[in-house]
Amino acid sequence: MKLDSLTGLRAILALLVVVCHGGQRVGWLEKQDIVSGVLVGFGHFGVVCFFVLSGFILNVVYFNREWTIREYAVNRFARIYPLYLLCLIFTFPIDWFSPGFESGNRIESLLLTLLMQQSWFDFSNGRFNGPGWTLGVEFFFYAAFPILVAIQRRSSIWLLLLFFFSMTASMVFWDPSDFYCAHRFPLMRIWEFILGMVLGQLFLTRKVLIKVKHRVSLAMLVLLAGSTLGHFFPVLSGWAFSEWLLMSLCAGTVIVLLGDRDREPGARSMIAGKKWVLGGEISFGVYLLHDGVQRYSKVVLEKGLNVKIESADFLVKGAYIGTTLVGSVVLAWVLYQAVEVPGRKYFRERLGK
């Protein structure tokens, strides 16, 4: 089943994260105003939606087919690790030799990051190629997926109960003052992945989940609401966890709306075109590369202009974000052709035997 709109959605999500981190680099997140709130919302929503989408897609792909653990593990490794390792090498110099890089636990952090286990420890989380922390969380999701599918095949009710249990547990233990535990500890994010799996099974078993006209337009409005209002919602509700709950519900709604649209005979959404699909296919590279591109570019720009980017005018900051976005996209496209596609083929052929 081709779900081109969901592939196009990945391009939008990567864009949200890149803009968020670009805003952080130029100092826009330090002001604690509406602009910083929207940018933070972009980043948070992008990650939440990626987690929900991951559970959704894996369930759609694997639930109704026979597969072995070996086949599944090889596919995940071939899809993720070659580019993950290359991007880790790309950012290593600026991570290791950065003046602000803490000296403690360097080797341990690097080894954990190489093994994609960095998200289990606060000292190693995000130290090498910062955005890679989400891959540490995804690794846990991938490891849990065969168990979750086995539970789901016995009874979908059990998976639904597990979703409510894990979400409630995260809600109870969620502490906004502990950034690592609240945002990045894998057990605190598993409910988002399970939500995607629940929606994936509903998608497979029901012809239509949300029967409305103009689904793609509605999906974009929900995406806009989730990414821009989600970060402000705790202020209105007085409940800190509401940001993650609202964003997850919005993410699930967007995914279902776009998936239903793709399933309609002859339907084609505005984000299912070739350019959007290509953007979605290289979005993994954009996500893993953009932090290094932004950091290296910041060093070059500040040395060239002899001024801190945070002190530059609005046009310079905007140009910096725009050019690093373009640079990340171009580099990701090159690596998609040279590393991702041939790497997947090579490892699937070698390891899948």
Instruction: Give the mean pLDDT of 65-91.
Output: 94
Cβ contact 242:234 at 8 Å: yes
Question: What is the model's pLDDT at position 231?
Answer: 83
Confidence label for 51 from pLDDT (cuts 50, 70 and 90): very high
- The 10s digit of each residue's pLDDT in 243-285 is 999 999 999 999 999 998 888 776 667 888 899 999 999 999 9
Question: What is the model's pLDDT at position 129?
Answer: 94
| Model confidence at 221: pLDDT above 80 | yes
- The 10s digit of each residue's pLDDT in 129-184 is 999 999 999 999 999 999 999 999 999 999 999 999 999 999 999 988 899 998 99
* Longest pairwise C-alpha distance within the chain: 63
Instruction: Give the mean pLDDT of 47-61.
Output: 96
Confidence label for 353 from pLDDT (cuts 50, 70 and 90): low
Confidence label for 210 from pLDDT (cuts 50, 70 and 90): confident
Cβ contact 293:91 at 8 Å: no
Confidence label for 287 from pLDDT (cuts 50, 70 and 90): very high
| Model confidence at 103: pLDDT above 80 | no
Question: What is the model's pLDDT at position 122?
Answer: 92
Distance CA 342, CA 95 (A): 28
Instruction: Write down the mean pLDDT value for the chain.
Output: 91
Asked which of 13-22, 23-32, 106-115 is least confident by mean pLDDT, the reply is 23-32
Question: What is the model's pLDDT at position 120?
Answer: 96
Task: Using alpha carbons, list the distances in angstroms from residue 167 to 164, 195, 217, 242, 352.
Answer: 5, 9, 29, 12, 35
Question: What is the model's pLDDT at position 267?
Answer: 62
Closest residue by Cα to residue 258 from 50, 51, 6? 6
Kindly report the pTM of this predicted structure: 0.95
Neighbours of 125 (CB within 10 A): 22
| Model confidence at 75: pLDDT above 80 | yes
* Domain residue spans of the chain: 4-351
Question: What is the model's pLDDT at position 183?
Answer: 92
Instruction: Give the mean pLDDT of 99-115.
Output: 85
